[in-house]
Structure 1
Amino acid sequence: MMKRQMNNYIRIVPALLLLLITGCSTDDGMEEMDPILPNVNDLGIYPQPSSGWMGESDPYNTNGWTADVMPYYENGQYHMFFLHDAQNKPAGEGFHDIHEFETDDFVNYDYQGRAIDYGNAGQPDFAIGTGSLIKFNDTYYYYYTGHNGTSAFLEENPRESVLLATSQDLEHWTKQGDFIITAPEGYYNFEFRDPHVLYNEEAGEYWMLVSAQTDARKAVILLFTSDDPAKGNWIVQDPLYTTTDEENYLMMEVPDLFKMGDYWYLIFSENWKDRITHYRVATSSTGPWEKPINDMVDGQYFYAGKTVSDGTDRYLAAWTARKSPEANSGNKDFGGNLVVHKLNQRADGKHLAVSVPSSFSSVFTSSITLEITEITSGVTENGNNFQINASEGQSKVVFQNMNKSSMISGAISISQEANAGIFLGGNENPSESFRIQMEPRNNKIIAINSGRFENVVYYNFNANTEYNFELIIDGSVAVLYINDEVALSSRIYNIYDSGWGFYAEFDTAEFNEIEISHKD
């Protein structure tokens, strides 16, 4: 039974008053920074933290990357807390302090700088991991992961734990030094992280989900419950979800739980096999949990997705991985840019879908003329409609460089045996560029980087059926949406510097009502 209490009653601190007295403070506050515009040709709708936030002489005064996002909504503002991955990490210092963007539209972001600092080498949060926050009475409770893998610390302490900081204003955070939750008996203390806290109206209590492993190294999402966060008492329960033998996930990171319509959804990310954000669905918050046939809404470059709701709409936020070195030939690396999808239910009212946030329509308002630079045999042009017959192999149409942040939109229809898609970020030969390719016979959309597979999301195509699409490009981030149902986020360098176009292989495809739009 889910409510069976194990012999690990975790009593942390008897009262909030004691928490506030004994905590150590991170009272640096956060000064509002200028909106992030990494490049004069970028809009900053997929932000990363800028340099300068610690002063010109500080070694951390470098650009950084957005890592795991911990969103919170209040009074018209989305507080997009995230792990800051600095480009320059001085020796002996900790890392992954929590920073914040603020936005009210997912288009314009104000960088707020650091919210919660990492500790020193003798403290459990020498490095910080993912967490979440809730408001109880007049106090904000930020539960986060403490991580310290130094050998001296590990002699007497677990590597990972759940820690707490509190605030009265969402700006100044005080660490509560007497609060700590470590892995209960039967669970592995090296892998115990990513607390997600919510008030579960169905259960009438507060829930904390923690990514964990059993001592036998089986991945679970462990459940703790409390009737009053101010008391600091969290009681461990049975796991909310355990990886199946078929899945065999080593770790299910960054869990999230919410209700939409008639269903409950459990989201988590696995980082050892394919690096994908997955979801499960149930009619109750306690399960049983069903795995959809397609249990992902984006591919391997959209990681650690967590949701946030304004009470009407819900959004899914994650980071799109960078590459090192920063080139299409580089290797996928930790951290990147914040990407946000609008989260919806499909027509069946059960399975999840994603679409472009509606606010984007207020940005890409200036439609420009398509300028064709090359068109091969097999391509028929009719205004902004292009029919491609590639039965001989491959045919394409190439357009002039887009030069800055853009949205490409239209409709696509592909025959059963064809591959078709969009190429960009290379040269005018699709095989030597970055391709986002749709394959009806395989029911998937894949990213191919100069002939190398890089990314995939599964989607059930019907041959010769028209599907709407939008491709949002800002800097080196490109996000393709298909029919307001799935997305494929990619990291593509040199997009502005080369032509782009449509292509088909082996059979026929149509690209209709094509538009490319910029900001005025």
Structure 2
Amino acid sequence: MSGNRQLFFMPETERPKMLGLDTCGDFMPFYHEGVFYLYYLHKYSIYEVTTTDFIQYSEPRMAIACGSPEDQDWHIGTGGVIEKDGVFHFYYTGFNEGNLHREGDLNEQVLMRAISSDLKDWSKDPGFFVRPDKQCYGNLHWRDPQPFRNEEAGEYWLVVTATEKDGLFRRGGCTHVMRSDDLDHWRHGDTIYAPRTFETHECHDLFRIGDWWYMVFSNYTRWWETRYRMARSPEGPWITPAPDDMFDGRAFYAAKTVSDGSRRYLVGWQAIRANMDDKQHYQWGGSVLVHELIQRDDGLLGVKPPETIRGHFRHMSELKPTPRLGEWTVNAETIGREPYGFGWLELGPMPAECLIRARLSWSEETIACGLMLRTSGDKLNKWCQVRIEPRRRRLVFDRSNKFDNDHHFIEERYFDCGDVREAELTIIASGNVIVIYANDTALAARAYDFEPGSAGLFVESGEVRCAEFGILEPSR
């Protein structure tokens, strides 16, 4: 394999007509002795890549190979790793789509397991084979097992994606738990979450921070999305955080968490667009995207860039402020005013890989403000834009190459600063990936049809103040 060595790892270099199975998806992170093992789905098997900082990655290698068309794990699906007494147990999904059309006691999805003593060589365990509990659940969605030690219950749990047996159409997704004292003998537990909202809850991850339990899952019923719920007990009841229960935008998917003992990271994938075209749909699979989780005072979760990635950018680029439209004052604090439309200030070249940081505040009447990225052309022919829209309470990534025949959604997130009217922005760009952090809210996107160009500030119908602005490149 020729691994993609951009900041956001992908096992193969992105290219037109790239199939989703050539990318990576559904990361199953595991931490052991200072190393993050990122297992992921690739070409119907499970592959592995390791990192200590989410910047430098090892060469990818196969961990568990899929079987033949006659095997239950003809295609392998998501799972998770747990260690007990020096032995590593990898629970995963065995897919065989052909079983749906065969007679007999056959299932499309079955829970399976592999064993290892070193996280390198895995042996499939033929004795572990858990079919759907058809007395209580449907016979389709039965996958994505997540093992963990539930210290509160004094036992091991295996969280399973399931479907209610007689649930509503495309609303029967539920979360089932299996229980064990030793990882070898499992018994069916209970349904701990069945909101009658989604077709399925994929890629579960249950974990505890302080007094709160959290359940992260992904869903494709309405959007591609990674959501979370919170509870005082792993049994529930599970609360939907209001008004925002997402971590990122509509192309950040199948994220699961991993902790090194002091920090917890959310590891998912940022989808690629078909044919590397901004006007095409997102497709399954993409490149790894990692956020560090933040627990707010009220128990709600936010995200920020990992400190290792932030520290990767240390070389400050020289700025060349040039007012383009509107009234701009550039001193210790940069102030821009344009009461009746759009104004912007070009600040300097934007390298292909960089981190941009800015601290903005705005007047009460301001419609929108934020950053211009990848700008080019005498008439601002091409541009990307990070928009804070205070009145609409949203964060937006917009771009210039949308025309009448392009009806794809813009990238947007709920974002509310309340009466504070200020935000700290961090933008990380690498290749066609752009990741935006506004305070502790993230929004990632792709921008294919853009040269590096320049970066700057903008304001629409109001006033913006910038107390800090910097463009940083990786350390030389």
Q: Deviations over 1:407-434 (max 9, x none)?
A: 0002012334411222334645679533
- Distance in 2 of aligned mates of 1:295 and 1:62: 27
Residues 138 and 511 of structure 1: is their aligned pair in 2 closer, same or farther, counting only changes over 3 Å?
same
Shift of 1:393: 1.3
Shift of 1:384: 6.9
465-474 or 149-158, which deviates more: 149-158
- Distance in 1 of aligned mates of 2:217 and 2:449: 32
Structure 2 residue aligned with 1:8 = none
Helix, strand or coil for the counterpart of 1:393? strand
Contact 2:345/2:458 (<8 A) preserved:
yes
Structure 2 residue aligned with 1:115 = 63
Q: How does 1:382-393 map to 2 (within 5 A)?
A: 382-383=330-331, 385-393=333-341
Q: How does 1:295-374 map to 2 (within 5 A)?
A: 295-348=245-298, 350-372=299-321
Provide structure 2 residue ranges, at least 5 long, that are not aligned to the other structure.
Answer: 403-407
Q: Deviations over 1:73-106 (max 9, x none)?
A: 010000011112xxxxxxxxxx421111111111
Q: Deviations over 1:330-366 (max 9, x none)?
A: 2211111101111121133x11111111112331010
Structure 2 residue aligned with 1:187 = 137
Structure 2 residue aligned with 1:376 = 324
Q: How does 1:400-439 map to 2 (within 5 A)?
A: 400-416=348-364, 417-425=366-374, 427=376, 433-439=383-389
203-212 or 440-449, which deviates more: 440-449
1:140 to 88, 92, 117: 88
Q: Deviations over 1:82-140 (max 9, x none)?
A: 112xxxxxxxxxx4211111111112111231111111111121111110010111211
Helix, strand or coil for the counterpart of 1:109? coil
Shift of 1:453: 3.1
Contact 2:350/2:374 (<8 A) preserved:
no
Instruction: Give the aligned residue type for 2:294.
Output: N
Helix, strand or coil for the counterpart of 2:310? helix
Q: How does 1:174-323 map to 2 (within 5 A)?
A: 174-184=123-133, 185-217=135-167, 218-229=172-183, 231=184, 233-244=185-196, 248-293=197-242, 294-323=244-273
Q: Does 1:497 align with 2:446?
A: no
- Distance in 1 of aligned mates of 2:198 and 2:21: 33
Instruction: Give the aligned residue type for 2:340.
Output: E
Residues 322 and 270 of structure 1: is their aligned pair in 2 closer, same or farther, counting only changes over 3 Å?
same
Contact 1:400/1:499 (<8 A) preserved:
yes
Structure 2 residue aligned with 1:72 = 30
Structure 1 residue aligned with 2:423 = 467
Shift of 1:196: 0.6
Shift of 1:297: 2.0
Helix, strand or coil for the counterpart of 1:251? coil
Contact 1:430/1:503 (<8 A) preserved:
no
TM (norm. structure 2) is: 0.90
Contact 1:424/1:495 (<8 A) preserved:
no
Matched residue count: 456
Structure 2 residue aligned with 1:487 = 442
RMSD between aligned alpha carbons? 2.4
Shift of 1:238: 1.7
TM (norm. structure 1) is: 0.82
Residues 365 and 148 of structure 1: is their aligned pair in 2 closer, same or farther, counting only changes over 3 Å?
same
Structure 2 residue aligned with 1:128 = 76
Contact 2:21/2:44 (<8 A) preserved:
no
Helix, strand or coil for the counterpart of 1:347? coil
- Distance in 2 of aligned mates of 1:252 and 1:430: 43
Q: Deviations over 1:258-305 (max 9, x none)?
A: 111111111111112121111111111111111110111211121111
Instruction: Give the aligned residue type for 1:402.
Output: M
Shift of 1:400: 4.3
Helix, strand or coil for the counterpart of 2:309? helix
Structure 1 residue aligned with 2:473 = 518
Shift of 1:448: 2.5
- Distance in 2 of aligned mates of 1:124 and 1:154: 13
489-498 or 430-439, which deviates more: 430-439
Shift of 1:152: 7.5
Shift of 1:227: 0.6
Q: How does 1:86-105 map to 2 (within 5 A)?
A: 95-105=43-53
Helix, strand or coil for the counterpart of 1:391? strand
- Distance in 2 of aligned mates of 1:154 and 1:379: 71
Instruction: Give the aligned residue type for 1:226.
Output: S
**What percentage of aligned pairs have identical amino acids?**
30
Contact 1:384/1:514 (<8 A) preserved:
no
Structure 1 residue aligned with 2:405 = none
Shift of 1:312: 1.1
Helix, strand or coil for the counterpart of 2:444? strand
Contact 1:370/1:400 (<8 A) preserved:
yes
Contact 2:21/2:285 (<8 A) preserved:
no
Helix, strand or coil for the counterpart of 1:150? helix
Structure 1 residue aligned with 2:8 = 46
Q: Deviations over 1:490-514 (max 9, x none)?
A: 1122454333332222222223310
Q: Deviations over 1:376-411 (max 9, x none)?
A: 332414147432223221111234442331000020
383-392 or 204-213, which deviates more: 383-392
- Distance in 2 of aligned mates of 1:152 and 1:465: 55
Structure 2 residue aligned with 1:394 = 342
Instruction: Give the aligned residue type for 1:465.
Output: R
Instruction: Give the aligned residue type for 2:159.
Output: L
